[in-house]
Amino acid sequence: MNHWNKISLYKYQQINEISERKGVPDLDKTLFCTCIAFDMTEYQLDNAGMEKVHKLLNQVSKIFSSPFVPVIKKRIGKYAINYDAGAMTFGQYIELSHYLSAPIVNAQKMLATVCHSHIDWLMKIFSKKKAVERRVRLHEKRAAYFLKQPITEVMGSLQLIRERKKELDNQYKGLFGLDISVHGESAQSDMFNKRYGWIYAASQVAEYERIKLEEAYGLPVRQAFHDLMFLKAKGKYEAEMAKKNAPSLNNNIPNNGR
């Protein structure tokens, strides 16, 4: 029996946050986790009586000491999960990249980004504005749904999603990272690039494709990557030509008649 099936993603996130707290005694962490696991307040646990508290602590210990066996499923509840990173849109890829900065905290949002259901085709019949609004609402609704699912199902799916994204990234290694010869040595650590790098990349794709920004987010991710590979190569070529054609400093120094 997999005892971890009793722990939802939402409870796991809370337990994980408590476990990472520094300066909190282990006993207090265990008591907090017990409250989370059994949907109890601290007051309820304090007044439950020693016999019941001892029983609850044993049950929590049994869960935490049991093997964690994540599973990978084509569907989590009513939603199918897309594990093919290459089949995502550019917008989905950017969202996923952002959420991966804190995978446990954003787990439900990652799944909401890559899942789909039989009603997704309805998006095509709405106007662009309504489609965007509906997509935001659906994303929030799906994220809330995944918070209630067993952590065993969620974690297995997240692991595979991350692996498939890494495989896609490895196919475009030359795309990632800013070229120092073009952007300078400080570009990689620049706060603008860290915060808005993907938005800037999407705007570059939109300009190159001669489409609106929201349409660029809807492009197949591989098409957007190919555009960016070309634009990166073009930028490097133009920078090299500019340096090559720049007048030498020595040629600009007057010889004072000598």
- The pLDDT tens digits of the residues spanning 182-235 come to 555 555 566 666 778 899 999 999 999 999 998 999 999 999 999 999 999 998
Measured CA to CA, the distance from residue 135 to residue 130 in angstroms comes to 8
Q: Where are the beta strands (DSSP E) in the chain?
A: 75-76, 79-81, 115-116
Please tell me the pTM assigned to this model: 0.82
Picking from 136, 171, 206, the residue at the C-terminal end of a domain is 171
Give the CA dihedral 57, 63, 67, 70, nearest 10 degrees.
Answer: -150
8: left (phi over 0), alpha (psi -120 to 50) or beta: beta
- What are the tokens at 53? 């508290």
Residue 1: its pLDDT value, please? 42
Q: What is residue 250's predicted lDDT score, i.e. its pLDDT?
A: 53
Pair (48, 89) in one structural domain: no
Examine the domain organization and report whether 7 and 31 are in the same domain: yes
CA 206 to chain centroid, in Å, comes to 22
Q: Residue 183's pLDDT is what? A: 52
| Residue numbers of the domain that contains 179 | 175-245
Within a domain: residue 257?
Answer: no
The CA distances from residue 113 to 10, 52, 182, in Å, are 17, 41, 33
* One domain, residues 35 and 23: yes
**Cβ contact 145:75 at 8 Å:** no
Same-domain status, 158 and 233: no
Whether 251 maps to a domain, the answer reads no
188 & 231 share domain:
yes
Q: Are 8 and 77 in contact (CB under 8 A)?
A: no
Task: Look up tokens 């990166």; give the residue.
Answer: 232
| Same domain as 233, residue 205 | yes
Contact indicator for 227, 175 with CB cutoff of 8 Å: no
Residues 229 and 182 in one domain: yes
**Domain identity same for 83 and 49:** no
What residue ranges of the chain have pLDDT lower than 50? 1, 118-119, 121-123, 125-126, 249, 257-258
160 in a domain, yes or no? yes
| Chain position carrying tokens 């960016």 | 228
- Is there a single domain that holds both residue 82 and residue 157? yes
- Whether 234 is in a domain gets the answer yes
Of 118, 136, 171, the position where a domain reaches its end is 171
Q: Among 131, 156, 171, identify where a domain stops.
A: 171
The verdict on residue 226 lying in a domain is yes
The identity of residue 120, as a single letter, is: D
Whether residue 138 lies inside any domain: the answer is: yes
- Counting the structural domains of the chain, the total is 3
Sequence length of the chain is 258
Do 150 and 186 reside in the same domain of the chain? Answer: no
* In a shared domain, residues 92 and 152: yes
Q: Flag whether 33 is in a domain.
A: yes
Packing angle of the helix pair 90-99, 221-245 (nearest 10 deg)? 80
